[in-house]
């Protein structure tokens, strides 16, 4: 049985809430359960690492946790001693490239899957927790050596999933159409579309949809399925 403990947010910013506020209870429950006093923050999805660290530290400090930026120390040593890891949003390609360049992909996997420290991801941080980043919404502004990600779960997630607006004059492809195009590939993985305010909580071999909005599940050769909050999605962990 996996020791993984994951909280995968569609976004850290949701309309009507302050930064990370909508997920505050889930974040605190996860960290308190593991007696974590500090959180290692990975800011590589944005260019301004220090500014990002200050923004993230504000809510975590308010909740009583110390936040350390991985960019302020030796990255490998920081991961090895981390009590919990939070990877924030931004550009997924930039983030994954940094994780590869710093050679910490396998080290993070070990800390999460074997040592069982909590992992919190938001947006790009959620993308890199999955099997691959094929279903990110971001532009490929840099090129990582692989699209394969941390593989903390055996399927993909599409954060910020948007439904088509019936009255819209936009005639381009919808988010659903793009995901279905990905699923035409034989080696594609299932995709969980997380609307803003939706969160996937994984505890070992159990997965539950949390948050304040539904998700949409895409599987190859099947009709998309609406998933209600509090639904058991443990079967997705079997691949």
**79 CB contacts (<8 Å, ≥6 apart)?**
40, 70, 85, 104, 107, 108, 111
**Active-site residue, from 10, 138, 188, 203:** 138
**Active-site residue, from 10, 11, 132, 160:** 160
123 carries an active-site annotation:
yes
138 carries an active-site annotation:
yes
**Active-site residue, from 123, 132, 188, 203:** 123
As annotated, the active-site residues are 123, 138, 160
């Amino acid at each position: 049985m996996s020791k993984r403990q994951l909280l995968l947010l569609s976004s850290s910013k949701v309309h009507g809430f302050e930064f990370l506020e909508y997920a505050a209870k889930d974040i605190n429950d996860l960290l308190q359960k593991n007696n974590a006093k500090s959180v290692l923050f990975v800011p590589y999805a944005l260019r301004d690492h220090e500014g990002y660290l200050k923004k993230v530290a504000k809510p975590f400090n308010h909740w009583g946790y110390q936040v350390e930026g991985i960019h302020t120390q030796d990255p490998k040593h920081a991961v090895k001693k981390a009590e919990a890891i939070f990877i924030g949003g931004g550009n997924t390609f930039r983030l994954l490239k940094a994780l590869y360049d710093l050679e910490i992909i396998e080290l993070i996997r070990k800390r999460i899957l074997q040592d069982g420290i909590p992992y919190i991801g938001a947006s790009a941080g959620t993308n890199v927790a999955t099997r691959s980043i094929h279903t990110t919404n971001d532009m490929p502004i840099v090129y990582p050596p692989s699209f394969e990600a941390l593989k903390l779960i055996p399927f993909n997630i599409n954060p910020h999933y948007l439904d088509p607006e019936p009255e819209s004059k936009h005639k381009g492809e919808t988010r659903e159409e793009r995901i279905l195009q990905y699923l035409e590939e034989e080696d594609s993985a299932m995709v969980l579309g997380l609307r803003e305010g939706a969160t996937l909580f994984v505890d070992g071999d159990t997965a539950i949809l949390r948050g304040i909005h539904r998700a949409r599940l895409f599987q190859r050769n099947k009709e998309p399925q609406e998933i209600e909050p509090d639904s058991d999605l443990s079967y997705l962990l079997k691949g």
